[in-house]
Amino acid sequence: MSGAKPLHPGLFTWPDQNPSLLGSLCLDCGEHAFPSQRSCRACSGQNTRDAELGNAGTLWTWTIQSFMPKTPYLTDETPETFRPYGVGYVELPCGLKVESRLRENTPDQLRIGMPMQLEIISVRKDEKGDELVTFQFCAAKETH
């Protein structure tokens, strides 16, 4: 994705061959947050640091969104080309649940507990013609 930039900087490592979500870790109580926060939502402490949260998790719950996203998440889709998409919470190994768009978009493709993998996708072009990218999760390729 040459000439691309994140729709929202600071949410994932960019550019990176193996992207990871970026968040924060409270050094007082061990609570993770996404996106990164300067104070802890669990203990109200101010002793946090940026942390990589990883790129894999487990689908905790999901739904299918059948209406076009609102600003700033608009894509280049039109009402005629729009396709429903999955939205879910993915539980990361640290225990944090992250809301995400899902590549899979039908109920028969999704099941609670399935392994998920982070991927970077193109959303649209900005006014300068630069490609804007964001993250989503998709079903992980199972290895045997």
Q: Output 26 or 124, whichever has higher pLDDT.
A: 26
- Give the model's pLDDT for residue 125: 87
Which helix (H) or strand (E) segment holds residue 56: the answer is strand 56-65
pLDDT band, very low/low/confident/very high, at 58 (cuts 50, 70, 90)? very high
Q: What is the pLDDT of residue 143?
A: 54
Assigned token pair, 138: 């998709």
Contact 52, 21 (CB under 8 A): yes
Tokens of 3: 């000439």
Instruction: Please give the DSSP secondary-structure letter assigned to residue 45.
Output: -
For 64-116, the pLDDT digits (tens) are 999 887 766 666 778 888 889 999 999 999 999 999 999 999 999 999 999 99
Q: Which two tokens stand for residue 54?
A: 């990883």
Phi, psi of 18 (to 5 degrees): -125, 75
Q: Where is pLDDT greater, at 144 or 61?
A: 61
Position 144 scores a pLDDT of 46
How large is the average pLDDT for residues 18-24?
96
Residue 123 has pLDDT above 50, yes or no: yes
Structure tokens at 33: 């947050």
Written as six digits, the tokens of 20 are 């990871």
pTM score, whole prediction: 0.88
- The arithmetic mean of pLDDT across residues 118-137, rounded, is 91
